[in-house]
Amino acid sequence: MSDAATVYQTLYIDKVYPYPQSSKPVISANYSSPGPVIEAYQGDTLVIRVINRLNVSTTLHWHGMFQIGTPDMDGAVGATQCPIPAGREFTYTFKADPAGTAWYHGHWLEQYTDGLYGPIIIRRQVEPNRAQYDREQVLMVTDWYNEPARSKLSRWYLSTNNPDGVEPLPDAIAVNGKFSQSLFIPVSGTSRIRFRVINGASLSMYKFSIDGLPLHIIELDQIDTAPYNVSSFVINVAQRVSFYIDLRELDPIYSQSGSSSTNSIFIRFQAMTEMYPVDILNYNSPYDIQRYAYPTFFNPLYLAILSLDSTNATPTYQPRDANPMPQMASLPSDNNMLAARPFNLTNYIVPNPTHYLNLVVKFAVDSTGINRGYMNDVTYTFTGNYTKLRPNVFQGIKPETKEPLLQQMANRPNTLGLPSPRVQAGSPLPTIQSDGYGHYLVPYQAVVDIFLNNTDNGEHPFHLHGGNFWIIATSDYPQAENLYRQAYLKRDVVSVPSNGWAKIRFIADNPGAWMFHCHIEWHMAAGLILTFVVAPNQLLAQGYTISNSQYDMCSVA
């Protein structure tokens, strides 16, 4: 076992124009999108200097990193920090924890929609499934929009001209920054490859498969699993799935010695069209003129190419809309893969809940005629760089324009005005309470069951900052609650079925201000967010203080 190291990385945030056919600026880290892979071992210290060369503010969220003891490094504007002003820089310092496949992305002004994202790989000294593969490959799938998100698409989305709340629909799919049939993955002399798939899209959920091969899933959102064999899987926004393939298992119809031999096979990302509120194949508005060489009107099937002889030849067979491979394994009617089990169940304890929270998710038109997202009838809105709350309040969370919620917790933990949990009808457990503005006070070490009741026609991927949670069951797979008791799988993104529900459980053992939100970027902009205020007094008892660099950044915001 080696000693923990310090890993340094500098990221320049700036605009690039990577596609000759497009005049759209892409917001990048180190002049590429995706940005560079950040790699470390679990327990290392990451020191990441972020230099903002944009003409607007920015910030980065380290998705999947728990930030234990470093809540101000989470990168969530208004909750944990002020944004990094144009022309300024900020250094994030935090532990590489937990291990697994994570990612970083912009958490302000819809910047990750325009390209500000990249992979994070945190390794264990001994990887549980390491004997199953010889090399690795990251696949980061994203939506591509022909128009900039903040200046055009968000304005169109959150306007009285869009009372139905129709999300901006992507114009194409990109994987590792490349469009369909332009990404080649050479086998490079091995038959066993681990793929790390990251959904960095702003809207789309995908069904993933590789022609002729079973997929052996070994990690979901940084939780190692016992190998779980499927022919395909569904991955929602912000989720990560790792699996390995063994080319010796390739269906003979595709092998070079088969009757329809080929030197390469298709890797498929099939967008789940039910995620979209309109018929994407026939929907043009707001894009009326096809003017780019890549698809202007959305094709929901993305094809990458796995080159079996590393010559980067295209497959000799024609792709079809459906995966032509016979089903090798069946997946339960469950996009969260609740039948996957943790790799090691020795001493695996799922505590009983001590608190409860029911959250009703809906969309509705507000008093100004704009369609917004609501949780328990509250839409989380922003003004300028900070959370807009209520004027003229002397106790409670203040509408300060230069004081993120975490700083308010540290400066005056006893006057936040957040109600304590109390027993209510419908649950024998104390119910976590809100201040009516989307902030929920959670006691230290509380074990909270959240029941997400989705009244919307769309499926929603909900992400928790500062930790992860057990997925107990969903309306697609309600029997999971009893089938897998004491062996629920943890993730940090749960996909809540349309007009359905999900039940999750988390332990509030990490003091801080942690956002919980739908990870569809348009829904975040529409206010489908809340913040858990976890243990303000414990935060100070653990010795947390606000750094001068955080104060300095807020003073010039």
Q: Are 204 and 170 in contact (CB under 8 A)?
A: yes
Q: Could you tell me the two tokens for 198?
A: 């990251």
**Amino acid identity at 335:** N
Average pLDDT, the chain: 89
Omega cis (within 30) before 34? yes
Position 332 pLDDT exceeds 80: no
Percent of the chain topping pLDDT 70: 89
Which residues have a Cβ under 8 Å from the Cβ of 134 and sit 6 or more positions away? 190, 191, 192, 193
The predicted structure's pLDDT at residue 283: 54
Rounded to a whole number of angstroms, the CA Rg of the chain reads 23
The predicted structure's pLDDT at residue 395: 55
Position 257 pLDDT exceeds 60: no
Nearest CA to 544 among 42, 80, 54?
80
Percent of the chain topping pLDDT 90: 72
The predicted structure's pLDDT at residue 262: 79
Q: Are strands 45-52 and 6-16 parallel, antiparallel or unpaired?
A: parallel
Question: Model pTM?
Answer: 0.94
Judge residue 178's burial from the number of C-beta atoms within 10 Å of its C-beta, 0-12 exposed, 13-18 middle, 19 or more buried.
Answer: middle
Q: Domains along the chain?
A: 6-123 (2.60.40.420), 135-337 (2.60.40.420), 355-555 (2.60.40.420)
The predicted structure's pLDDT at residue 414: 87
Q: Could you tell me the two tokens for 78?
A: 């208004």
pLDDT band at 287 (very low <50, low <70, confident <90, very high): very low
Residue 506 β-bridge partners: 448
Write phi, then psi, for 271 (nearest 5 degrees): -65, 140
Buried b (16+ CB within 10 A) or exposed e, 4-39: eeeeebebebbbeeebeebebbbbbbbeebbbeebe
Q: How far apart are CA 182 and CA 546, in angstroms?
A: 47
**Amino acid identity at 160:** T
Which residues have a Cβ under 8 Å from the Cβ of 249 and sit 6 or more positions away? 213, 214
Q: Could you tell me the two tokens for 396?
A: 């409670």
Q: Are 228 and 339 in contact (CB under 8 A)?
A: yes
Higher pLDDT, 323 or 496: 496
Q: Which of 40-54, 92-106, 329-343, 539-553 has the lowest mean pLDDT?
A: 329-343
Render pLDDT for 464-506 as a digit per residue (tens, 0 to 9). 999 999 999 999 999 999 999 989 999 999 999 999 999 999 9
The predicted structure's pLDDT at residue 295: 41
Render pLDDT for 236-248 as a digit per residue (tens, 0 to 9). 999 999 999 999 9
Render pLDDT for 206-235 as a digit per residue (tens, 0 to 9). 999 999 999 999 999 999 999 999 989 999
Position 279 pLDDT exceeds 70: no
Which residues have a Cβ under 8 Å from the Cβ of 162 and sit 6 or more positions away? 156, 370, 371
Position 166 pLDDT exceeds 90: no
Position 114 pLDDT exceeds 60: yes
Work out the average pLDDT over 194-203.
98
The predicted structure's pLDDT at residue 319: 83
pLDDT band at 334 (very low <50, low <70, confident <90, very high): low
Q: How far apart are CA 3 and CA 303, in angstroms?
A: 42
